[in-house]
Chain A
Amino acid sequence: MTAVRDTTSASLDALAAEAATGALTGERGVFYLAAGRVVHVESAHTPGLGVLLTRGGALAEDGWWEAVDRDGARHRVGRRLVDSGRVAAGALEVCHLGALFDAAYFALAHDPRAHRFRPGAAHWLGALRPVPVATVLRESRRRRDLLHEIWPDPLVDVAPLARVPGARATALPARRARVLDRVDGVRTAADIAEDLAFRTYHTLVELRRLAADGLVTTAPRVPARPGPAAPDPCGTAWDDPDAALLRRLRDALEAL
């Protein structure tokens, strides 16, 4: 059985070699594997698949929640959405892959040591289009390099962003202008992506270009940002689930 290795990527490599099934939890994200392939990745820094599908207009919100309610426990939400004709299989796969690679980019950003591996754990979405671990690692590296070429400051990805005072934007492409409109000194790239229901990587590309053009910079630290951006209604928090449970338990006991 694999112990957690020094880096997340090393842990993933080992799990792939073992054809392991389960969830690898790290500081910035959770990798779900089935038979050594990546079936889903979640990260606090990227909007989930539900946001991309419902806010992007591909799926009505009711339909999403109905599928989650009815088949979440059976890990078949994806299959349900397609079978019930709510969303085309191709659209779901494309959105899912977008969300998966976006989350993997963040989860592997500094390639920290993963916290733990839970054998057998499966994601409620179910397997849609498993991706080999090597592909996920290679793609994350490539994205990191691409972003680095545009503007070599990884803080833009995670810090609250502000407009550069006095800088005037002239004739930006529509998408970049919409991203710039939402830069307000408080929002992070993830907040902006969620707000626009854009995939995060696309938003990062636009933000780094805006940074390179001298229009956007990381905001000075604001004290105590209010909580996590959105509570995760599906209870699949990126936080180490057991630690979160223990904290809640302790709080409850103290409140007695």
Chain B
Amino acid sequence: MANLETALKECLSSIDGASAAALVDYTSGMALGTLGGTKDFNLEVAAAGNTDVVRAKLRTMELLGLKEEIEDILITLSSQYHLIRLLKGRGGNGLFLYLVLDASRANLAMARHQLRRIETELEV
């Protein structure tokens, strides 16, 4: 029964190594809610940019004729993980959760698991 604010807060507090989180509408590329981020790491820009990543992957799957759904997308940088989780719920069509993790502190399997749990609690 979480609202946006608490869902994002939970991302940062319960997932080890998480430093920023955003809920993004990937049709418009707008961040509906953001938390964390610094002046060197603008989450609004990250939201818009990662929208292109999601769209490109969806488009590729369309071209390949794959009927599957994307659960999550993982991008590994040298010191960070970026995790994108597409929301499934009734109203969640077209939304993804975006999470920035510190690679040295994060446990990827746990992070994916936690993110899935937060997603069900958001009940979008």
Chain A contact residues, CB within 8 Å of chain B: 52-53, 56-58, 82, 85, 88-91, 93-95, 97-98, 101, 129, 139, 142-143, 146, 173, 199, 201-202, 205
Interchain nearest-CB distance for B43 vs A (Å): 13
Interchain nearest-CB distance for B106 vs A (Å): 24
What's the A-B contact tally at a CB cutoff of 8 Å?
A: 68
Q: How far is the CA of A58 from the CA of B95 in the complex (A)?
A: 15
Evaluate contact between A95 and B29: CB separation under 8 angstroms: no
What 0/1 pattern do residues 74 to 98 of B give for CB contact below 8 A with A?
Answer: 0000000000000001111011000
Selected contact of B3 from candidates A57, A93, A142, CB within 8 Å = A93
| Interface status of B1 (Cβ within 8 A of chain A) | yes
Interchain nearest-CB distance for B84 vs A (Å): 17
Selected contact of B32 from candidates A52, A85, A97, A202, CB within 8 Å = A97
* Interface hit among B11-19, B20-28, B108-116: B20-28
Closest to A95 in B: B91
Closest to A88 in B: B123
Query: Chain B: interface secondary structure?
Result: loop
Evaluate contact between B32 and A94: CB separation under 8 angstroms: yes
Q: How far is the CA of A94 from the CA of B90 in the complex (A)?
A: 12
Interchain nearest-CB distance for A77 vs B (Å): 16
Residues in A with CB closer than 8 Å to B29 are: 142, 146
Closest to B48 in A: A142
Residues in A with CB closer than 8 Å to B23 are: 94
Evaluate contact between B91 and A94: CB separation under 8 angstroms: yes
Evaluate contact between A90 and B27: CB separation under 8 angstroms: no
Query: Chain A: interface secondary structure?
Result: helix
| Interface status of B103 (Cβ within 8 A of chain A) | no
Residues in B with CB closer than 8 Å to A98 are: 25
| Interface status of B99 (Cβ within 8 A of chain A) | no
Residues in B with CB closer than 8 Å to A142 are: 28-30
Evaluate contact between A202 and B94: CB separation under 8 angstroms: yes
Residues in A with CB closer than 8 Å to B4 are: 89-90, 93-94, 129
Selected contact of B28 from candidates A82, A146, A173, CB within 8 Å = A146
Evaluate contact between B2 and A94: CB separation under 8 angstroms: no
Residues in A with CB closer than 8 Å to B123 are: 88, 90-91
Q: How far is the CA of A129 from the CA of B6 in the complex (A)?
A: 13
Q: How far is the CA of A97 from the CA of B23 in the complex (A)?
A: 12
| Interface status of B71 (Cβ within 8 A of chain A) | no
Closest to A94 in B: B124
| Interface status of B100 (Cβ within 8 A of chain A) | no
Q: How far is the CA of A85 from the CA of B1 in the complex (A)?
A: 9
Given A90-B7, A91-B122, A201-B27, 16 new contacts (CB under 8 A): A82-B1, A88-B124, A89-B1, A89-B3, A89-B4, A90-B123, A91-B89, A91-B123, A91-B124, A94-B32, A94-B91, A97-B32, A101-B30, A173-B62, A199-B27, A205-B27
